[in-house]
Amino acid sequence: MNDKRKKPSACEFARRKARGAKIPSLSLYDTPTAKIAASCGIDLLLVGDSLGMTVLGLKNTIPVKIEDVMRHSSAVRRGAPEAFVVADMPFMSYQTCPADAMRNAARFMQEADCDGVKIEGGVQMAETISRLVSAGVPVMAHIGLLPQRILTGCGYRKIGKNKEEERELLSDAKAVEKAGAFCVVLECVEDKVAEKITKSLRIPTIGIGSGDACDGQIQVAHDVLGLLPDFTPKHARRYANLAEEIQRAFTSYASDVIKG
């Protein structure tokens, strides 16, 4: 563990890519987990709207509200003052118009002390990204599978399987880079396409279910830790089985209490 690190700037991640250093990142939601992650050298932390499913028991990310992500972003900030903390802007907090995106991003920066925001979408979101970046908000872009569009999309599946999807992904990637995003999440993008995108961009690609050619990887902490026994996405690699550990501990505790 190493807890005396300097907080990276948004530009630092492109420098890491330029020197070939891979970028590990986690999506997490609370103070103690953020503190442990940062002390392990993971300094790009996302407060994902996946918190709807992992923490709040919701069925997808659509019902997640600004106040939910705000509350958890403040918690992560307190746990990891030395990390670059990104708030995932929830459904309809930025899609309505760039002015709403600016107003809501300002709340994440000013009230939750975040270092940047993440928004889903490529070409269609380029103008919003550009406005945010010009105003001083570092933006993590997100293309490929877009969970906030799950109800109008084709479900949870790999994107980039045919030439048309590949072309769209490449233009989305180019558009968010041009708009000034400091990195781009590639979610469930075909490995070969993710590799092409990674090679064609100066900013780092942070993959989830998109193969190992990406410049970095992001995983949901609950998946990595094995905290959700009833749900493990295909792309998640478990490094622990905390659900079992917790069950063992709670069972011993209950039995001690019952025995008096």
* Of residues 134 and 232, the one with the C-beta less far from ligand KIV: 232
Q: Which two tokens stand for residue 206?
A: 């942070």
| 236/38 Cα distance (integer angstroms) | 20
The verdict on whether 187 is a catalytic residue reads: yes
Q: Which residues contact 55 (CB under 8 A, 6 or more apart)?
A: 29, 72, 222
Distance between CA atoms of residues 145 and 120, nearest Å? 9
DSSP three-state, residue 220: strand
Min separation Cβ 149 and ligand KIV, Å: 12
Rounded CA gap, 198 and 140, in Å? Answer: 15
- Beta carbon nearer to ligand KIV, 57 or 260: 57
State which residue, 126 or 220, has the beta carbon closest to ligand KIV: 220
Question: 45: Cβ–Cβ under 8 A, 6 or more apart, which residues?
Answer: 25, 26, 27, 28, 34, 37, 38, 76, 80, 83, 84, 85, 86
Which residue has its beta carbon closest to ligand KIV? 48
Q: Least distance in Å: CB of 64 to ligand KIV?
A: 9
Beta bridge mates, 85? 45
| CA–CA gap between residue 185 and residue 148 (Å, rounded) | 14
Please state the closest distance from residue 51 (CB atom) to ligand KIV, in A.
Answer: 7
Q: Minimum distance between the CB of residue 259 and ligand KIV, rounded to whole angstroms? A: 41
**Which residue among the candidates 120, 166, 177, 187 is catalytic per the annotation?**
187
Task: By CB under 6 A, name the binding residues for ligand KIV.
Answer: 27, 46, 48-50, 88, 185, 187, 208, 218, 220
Q: Which is nearer to ligand KIV, 48 or 226 (CB)?
A: 48
**Residues labelled catalytic:** 187
